[in-house]
Structure 1
Amino acid sequence: MKIESVIARQSVDDLEGAIPFYERLTGRKAERFEFAGVHLASVGTFLLFCGPDEAVSRIAAVTATLTVADLPSAVEEAVAAGATLVMPPQPTPNGHRAVLRHPHGGVYEYVGP
Protein backbone atom coordinates (compact mmCIF):
# COMPACT_ATOMS: atom_id res chain seq x y z
CA MET A 1 0.00 0.00 0.00
CA LYS A 2 1.21 3.48 -0.80
CA ILE A 3 -0.41 6.53 0.77
CA GLU A 4 -0.52 9.17 -1.97
CA SER A 5 -1.45 12.16 0.20
CA VAL A 6 -2.59 13.15 3.66
CA ILE A 7 -5.39 15.66 4.13
CA ALA A 8 -5.46 17.53 7.45
CA ARG A 9 -8.94 18.04 8.90
CA GLN A 10 -9.91 21.31 10.60
CA SER A 11 -13.22 22.14 12.26
CA VAL A 12 -14.12 25.83 11.87
CA ASP A 13 -16.97 27.93 13.23
CA ASP A 14 -17.36 29.95 10.01
CA LEU A 15 -16.50 28.04 6.84
CA GLU A 16 -16.79 31.01 4.48
CA GLY A 17 -14.74 33.16 6.86
CA ALA A 18 -11.98 30.54 7.12
CA ILE A 19 -11.65 29.72 3.41
CA PRO A 20 -9.69 32.86 2.34
CA PHE A 21 -6.91 32.12 4.86
CA TYR A 22 -6.46 28.55 3.59
CA GLU A 23 -6.68 29.62 -0.06
CA ARG A 24 -3.91 32.13 0.56
CA LEU A 25 -1.87 29.61 2.59
CA THR A 26 -2.07 26.88 -0.07
CA GLY A 27 -2.46 28.91 -3.27
CA ARG A 28 -5.47 26.72 -4.13
CA LYS A 29 -9.17 27.52 -4.57
CA ALA A 30 -11.67 25.88 -2.23
CA GLU A 31 -13.93 23.13 -3.49
CA ARG A 32 -17.14 23.19 -1.43
CA PHE A 33 -19.44 20.23 -0.83
CA GLU A 34 -21.75 18.70 1.76
CA PHE A 35 -21.63 15.27 3.35
CA ALA A 36 -23.71 13.77 6.18
CA GLY A 37 -25.14 17.16 7.20
CA VAL A 38 -21.74 18.88 7.31
CA HIS A 39 -20.56 21.77 5.10
CA LEU A 40 -17.02 21.09 3.86
CA ALA A 41 -14.34 22.77 1.78
CA SER A 42 -11.29 21.06 0.36
CA VAL A 43 -8.45 23.60 0.08
CA GLY A 44 -5.15 22.09 -0.96
CA THR A 45 -4.17 19.61 1.74
CA PHE A 46 -6.80 20.86 4.20
CA LEU A 47 -10.38 19.74 4.72
CA LEU A 48 -12.35 22.44 6.54
CA PHE A 49 -15.77 21.64 7.96
CA CYS A 50 -18.61 23.07 10.03
CA GLY A 51 -22.19 22.24 10.87
CA PRO A 52 -24.36 20.90 13.67
CA ASP A 53 -22.32 19.68 16.67
CA GLU A 54 -23.46 16.04 16.39
CA ALA A 55 -22.58 15.80 12.68
CA VAL A 56 -19.27 17.66 13.12
CA SER A 57 -18.23 15.38 16.00
CA ARG A 58 -18.42 12.36 13.68
CA ILE A 59 -16.15 14.08 11.14
CA ALA A 60 -13.78 15.45 13.80
CA ALA A 61 -13.31 11.97 15.32
CA VAL A 62 -11.19 11.06 12.27
CA THR A 63 -7.56 12.18 12.53
CA ALA A 64 -6.86 12.67 8.81
CA THR A 65 -7.84 11.51 5.35
CA LEU A 66 -5.37 9.27 3.50
CA THR A 67 -5.69 8.97 -0.27
CA VAL A 68 -4.69 5.66 -1.85
CA ALA A 69 -4.70 4.36 -5.42
CA ASP A 70 -6.36 1.03 -4.58
CA LEU A 71 -8.80 1.28 -1.67
CA PRO A 72 -9.69 -2.43 -1.33
CA SER A 73 -6.01 -3.44 -1.26
CA ALA A 74 -5.12 -0.66 1.18
CA VAL A 75 -7.88 -1.73 3.56
CA GLU A 76 -6.83 -5.38 3.28
CA GLU A 77 -3.18 -4.56 3.97
CA ALA A 78 -3.99 -2.26 6.91
CA VAL A 79 -6.22 -4.89 8.53
CA ALA A 80 -3.58 -7.58 7.98
CA ALA A 81 -1.08 -5.29 9.73
CA GLY A 82 -3.34 -4.84 12.78
CA ALA A 83 -5.82 -2.06 11.91
CA THR A 84 -9.49 -2.47 12.79
CA LEU A 85 -12.16 -1.78 10.20
CA VAL A 86 -14.55 0.84 11.62
CA MET A 87 -16.51 1.41 8.39
CA PRO A 88 -16.16 -0.80 5.32
CA PRO A 89 -15.56 0.75 1.89
CA GLN A 90 -18.59 2.58 0.56
CA PRO A 91 -19.33 5.08 -2.21
CA THR A 92 -19.22 8.83 -1.56
CA PRO A 93 -19.72 11.88 -3.80
CA ASN A 94 -15.93 11.93 -4.39
CA GLY A 95 -15.12 8.22 -4.87
CA HIS A 96 -15.07 5.58 -2.14
CA ARG A 97 -14.08 5.67 1.53
CA ALA A 98 -13.39 3.37 4.45
CA VAL A 99 -12.55 4.22 8.07
CA LEU A 100 -9.94 2.28 10.02
CA ARG A 101 -8.53 2.47 13.54
CA HIS A 102 -4.78 1.96 13.50
CA PRO A 103 -3.25 -0.30 16.17
CA HIS A 104 -2.00 2.73 18.12
CA GLY A 105 -5.44 4.34 18.35
CA GLY A 106 -5.60 6.85 15.49
CA VAL A 107 -8.74 6.76 13.33
CA TYR A 108 -8.18 7.45 9.64
CA GLU A 109 -10.39 7.80 6.60
CA TYR A 110 -8.97 6.05 3.55
CA VAL A 111 -10.25 7.34 0.20
CA GLY A 112 -9.71 6.12 -3.33
CA PRO A 113 -11.40 5.20 -6.54
Structure 2
Amino acid sequence: MPVVRTYTRVYVDDLDTALPTFVALTGEQPALRFPYRGLELAAVGDHLLVAGTDEALAPYRATHTTLVVTSLDEVLALLATHGGEVLDGPNAVPTGRNLTARHPGGAVVEYVEFHEQARAAAQG
Protein backbone atom coordinates (compact mmCIF):
# COMPACT_ATOMS: atom_id res chain seq x y z
CA MET A 1 0.00 0.00 0.00
CA PRO A 2 2.50 2.60 -1.01
CA VAL A 3 1.73 6.23 -0.36
CA VAL A 4 1.74 7.75 -3.85
CA ARG A 5 1.22 11.37 -2.80
CA THR A 6 1.16 13.44 0.36
CA TYR A 7 -0.90 16.61 0.56
CA THR A 8 -0.32 19.21 3.23
CA ARG A 9 -3.71 20.50 4.29
CA VAL A 10 -4.23 24.26 4.27
CA TYR A 11 -7.52 25.51 5.71
CA VAL A 12 -8.72 28.77 4.14
CA ASP A 13 -11.80 30.99 4.28
CA ASP A 14 -12.24 31.43 0.53
CA LEU A 15 -10.74 29.20 -2.16
CA ASP A 16 -10.81 31.77 -4.97
CA THR A 17 -8.96 34.28 -2.79
CA ALA A 18 -6.35 31.74 -1.62
CA LEU A 19 -5.62 30.03 -4.94
CA PRO A 20 -3.59 32.76 -6.73
CA THR A 21 -0.96 32.80 -3.96
CA PHE A 22 -0.57 29.00 -4.02
CA VAL A 23 -0.44 28.97 -7.83
CA ALA A 24 2.34 31.58 -7.68
CA LEU A 25 4.19 29.71 -4.91
CA THR A 26 4.09 26.33 -6.64
CA GLY A 27 4.10 27.40 -10.29
CA GLU A 28 1.22 24.95 -10.81
CA GLN A 29 -2.46 25.26 -11.59
CA PRO A 30 -4.95 23.29 -9.48
CA ALA A 31 -4.84 19.65 -10.56
CA LEU A 32 -8.10 18.89 -8.77
CA ARG A 33 -10.94 21.12 -7.66
CA PHE A 34 -14.24 19.88 -6.24
CA PRO A 35 -16.96 20.43 -3.63
CA TYR A 36 -17.41 18.02 -0.73
CA ARG A 37 -19.74 18.17 2.29
CA GLY A 38 -20.17 21.94 2.20
CA LEU A 39 -16.49 22.60 1.48
CA GLU A 40 -14.51 23.53 -1.63
CA LEU A 41 -11.20 21.76 -2.17
CA ALA A 42 -8.33 22.23 -4.59
CA ALA A 43 -5.02 20.41 -4.96
CA VAL A 44 -2.17 22.71 -5.97
CA GLY A 45 1.26 21.11 -6.00
CA ASP A 46 1.59 19.25 -2.70
CA HIS A 47 -1.07 21.36 -0.97
CA LEU A 48 -4.73 20.55 -0.45
CA LEU A 49 -6.61 23.77 0.11
CA VAL A 50 -9.80 23.18 2.09
CA ALA A 51 -12.16 26.15 2.10
CA GLY A 52 -15.32 26.81 4.04
CA THR A 53 -16.92 28.58 6.93
CA ASP A 54 -15.59 27.99 10.43
CA GLU A 55 -18.63 25.78 11.06
CA ALA A 56 -18.09 23.72 7.89
CA LEU A 57 -14.35 23.33 8.56
CA ALA A 58 -14.70 22.41 12.25
CA PRO A 59 -15.04 18.61 11.75
CA TYR A 60 -11.92 18.52 9.54
CA ARG A 61 -9.43 20.78 11.33
CA ALA A 62 -8.04 17.93 13.44
CA THR A 63 -6.90 16.09 10.30
CA HIS A 64 -3.16 16.67 9.84
CA THR A 65 -2.53 15.45 6.31
CA THR A 66 -4.00 13.63 3.32
CA LEU A 67 -2.20 10.57 1.98
CA VAL A 68 -3.09 9.15 -1.42
CA VAL A 69 -2.63 5.38 -1.37
CA THR A 70 -3.06 2.52 -3.80
CA SER A 71 -5.34 0.51 -1.50
CA LEU A 72 -7.66 1.55 1.33
CA ASP A 73 -8.12 -2.12 2.16
CA GLU A 74 -4.42 -2.36 2.97
CA VAL A 75 -4.69 0.79 5.10
CA LEU A 76 -7.52 -0.82 7.07
CA ALA A 77 -5.38 -3.91 7.67
CA LEU A 78 -2.43 -1.77 8.78
CA LEU A 79 -4.61 0.20 11.17
CA ALA A 80 -5.99 -3.01 12.67
CA THR A 81 -2.48 -4.41 13.12
CA HIS A 82 -1.12 -1.26 14.77
CA GLY A 83 -4.14 -0.24 16.83
CA GLY A 84 -5.40 2.65 14.73
CA GLU A 85 -9.01 3.81 14.90
CA VAL A 86 -11.17 4.55 11.85
CA LEU A 87 -13.00 7.81 12.57
CA ASP A 88 -14.91 8.09 9.29
CA GLY A 89 -15.34 5.91 6.24
CA PRO A 90 -14.60 4.34 3.96
CA ASN A 91 -16.71 6.77 1.94
CA ALA A 92 -17.32 7.45 -1.73
CA VAL A 93 -15.83 10.88 -2.47
CA PRO A 94 -15.47 12.92 -5.68
CA THR A 95 -11.92 11.59 -6.21
CA GLY A 96 -12.56 7.92 -5.33
CA ARG A 97 -12.77 6.53 -1.77
CA ASN A 98 -11.48 7.88 1.52
CA LEU A 99 -11.29 7.21 5.22
CA THR A 100 -10.02 9.19 8.17
CA ALA A 101 -8.16 7.45 10.98
CA ARG A 102 -6.46 8.25 14.26
CA HIS A 103 -3.08 6.57 14.51
CA PRO A 104 -1.62 5.32 17.78
CA GLY A 105 -0.02 8.41 19.25
CA GLY A 106 -2.84 10.68 18.09
CA ALA A 107 -2.11 11.72 14.48
CA VAL A 108 -5.31 12.07 12.44
CA VAL A 109 -4.80 11.21 8.77
CA GLU A 110 -7.11 11.14 5.76
CA TYR A 111 -6.36 8.33 3.30
CA VAL A 112 -7.64 8.53 -0.27
CA GLU A 113 -7.67 5.86 -2.95
CA PHE A 114 -8.05 7.83 -6.20
CA HIS A 115 -10.19 6.58 -9.04
CA GLU A 116 -8.53 6.57 -12.46
CA GLN A 117 -9.68 10.07 -13.49
CA ALA A 118 -8.42 11.70 -10.27
CA ARG A 119 -5.14 9.78 -10.46
CA ALA A 120 -4.57 11.02 -14.02
CA ALA A 121 -5.44 14.63 -13.09
CA ALA A 122 -3.12 14.61 -10.06
CA GLN A 123 -0.23 13.29 -12.15
CA GLY A 124 -0.63 16.17 -14.56
Confirm whether residue 74 of structure 1 aligns to residue 75 of structure 2: yes
Shift of the 40–88 alpha-carbon distance from structure 1 to 2, 3 Å rule, reads: closer
Q: CA deviation at 1:77?
A: 1.1
TM-score (norm 1): 0.90
The size of the alignment, in residue pairs, is: 113
SS at match of 2:55: helix
SS at match of 1:24: helix
Confirm whether residue 2 of structure 1 aligns to residue 21 of structure 2: no
Opposite residue 6 of structure 1, the aligned amino acid is T
CA contact (8 A) 1:38 1:55 kept: yes
TM-score (norm 2): 0.83
SS at match of 1:104: coil
Opposite residue 75 of structure 1, the aligned amino acid is L
Structure 2: how far apart are the matches of 1:96 and 1:17? 28
* Structure 2 residues without counterparts, runs of 5 or longer: 115-124
Q: CA deviation at 1:88?
A: 2.8
**Identical columns (%):** 36
Q: Give the helix-richer structure, 1 or 2.
A: 2
Structure 1: how far apart are the matches of 2:90 and 2:14? 30
Displaced runs of 4 or more, over 2 A: none
Structure 1: how far apart are the matches of 2:3 and 2:96? 16
Structure 2: how far apart are the matches of 1:25 and 1:65? 20
Structure 2: how far apart are the matches of 1:101 and 1:4? 20
Confirm whether residue 26 of structure 1 aligns to residue 26 of structure 2: yes
* Structure 1 residues without counterparts, runs of 5 or longer: none
Structure 2: how far apart are the matches of 1:44 and 1:72? 26
Structure 2: how far apart are the matches of 1:54 and 1:76? 33
Q: CA deviation at 1:14?
A: 2.8
Confirm whether residue 63 of structure 1 aligns to residue 79 of structure 2: no
